[in-house]
Amino acid sequence: MLQIYNRANELRSSLKNLGAVGFVPTMGNLHAGHLSLIKESLKHHKNTVVSIYVNPTQFGENEDFKTYPRTLDKDVSSLESLEHQNKKLFIFAPFDDKEIYPSGKSVISACDYTSSSLFEGKLRPGHFDGMITVVKRLFEMINPQHAYFGKKDYQQLLLVKELVKKFELSTKIIGMPTTRDANGLPLSSRNSYLSAQEIHQALILPQTLQQLKKVYLKNKSLEDVQKSIQKIKERDGKFNYLAVTDACDLSRAHESTKKLILLGNYQVAETRIIDNLEIL
């Protein structure tokens, strides 16, 4: 059964006394990546909430807030087509920003979170403040047992885990694998901005990450990877960043780091492509 809510108080009262709820926050324009998170929640919960909200506070002034694809009718159809026998699926598509920010759009600062000023945080000042704020608001509203986030936005996933720890929230955060197209490009709502030729250019990022993983696995040498990264960046100026880091907190990787992750952001025309690859 699928129900759509536009008002936070109506959603809140419907969820009262329902028991455990799974939650998938999204900005809509749903694709197979989003649906994989929603299916996972449906598998484990009688009740799943999917929020569809293009959150203004996480966009910078020169970013694509106005043009971000808003496709609610199509999103509802995609959700209707999901198998969810005996399961309840609640869509929360706020009527306006007041449903999320009843007392104005002030944001909490993510500056004391481990990695908030690195990588995406550096490229998009204020982005994580807005993201952390909206996730906290939605968690307060829904109080989910589990919330599902994509590893595609790996830094976001780490920061949300930190949010939960910091405010001692009871929600457990589940990180889900990245869904890719047949060529290995991570699915993203922003891929709709790209022409066929630009999609082809975007593939440079996942291909580079695979290549760097091979470099590492050959001699298990971080130095080899760092040298390759240096060369790649010198050859191609379109990497906004490309790095190998500690997967636990995105700090600089050392030979003794147990869990490594490659992170990259690649500029294709006006669009920034984001991807990552866990190595160990």
What is the number of helices (H) and of strands (E) in the chain?
Answer: 9, 9
Whole-Å CA distances, 84 to 24, 33, 78, 118, 257: 15, 17, 12, 39, 42
Q: Which amino acid is at 90?
A: F
Name the residue nearer to ligand AMP (CB basis): 102 or 177: 177
Q: Which residues are catalytic?
A: 34
DSSP of 95-125: SSGGGT-TT-------TTSTTTTSTHHHHST
CB-wise, 32 or 280, nearer to ligand AMP? 32
Tell the smallest beta-carbon distance from residue 13 to ligand AMP (Å).
Answer: 25
Closest distance to ligand AMP from the beta carbon of 247 (Å) = 16
Task: Report d(CA 60, CA 128) in Å as an integer.
Answer: 10
Output Rg (C-alpha) for the chain, integer angstroms: 19
**Is residue 247 within 8 Å of 278, Cβ to Cβ?**
yes
Q: Figure out which of the listed residues 41, 57, 133, 178 binds ligand AMP, where binding follows CB under 6 A.
A: 178
Confirm if 213 and 277 have CB atoms less than 8 A apart: yes
Among 22, 23, 33, 268, binds ligand AMP (CB under 6 A): 33
Residue 22 C-beta-side C-alpha neighbours within 13 Å? 19
Site for ligand AMP in 141-170 (CB under 6 A): 149-150, 152-153
Binding residue count for ligand AMP, defined by CB under 6 A: 17
Q: Is 187 in the site for ligand AMP (CB under 6 A)?
A: yes
Q: 37 or 79: whose CB is closer to ligand AMP?
A: 37
Task: Select 125 or 177, whichever has its Cβ closest to ligand AMP.
Answer: 177
Q: CB-wise, 169 or 187, nearer to ligand AMP? A: 187
Question: Of residues 37, 79, 205, 253, which one binds ligand AMP by CB under 6 A?
Answer: 37
Nearby residues of 256 by Cβ (< 8 Å), 6 or more positions away: none
Q: Does 78 bind ligand AMP (CB under 6 A)?
A: no
- When asked if residue 271 is in the footprint of ligand AMP (CB under 6 A), the reply is no
Residue numbers at the binding site for ligand AMP (CB under 6 A)? 26-27, 33-34, 36-37, 149-150, 152-153, 176, 178-179, 186-189
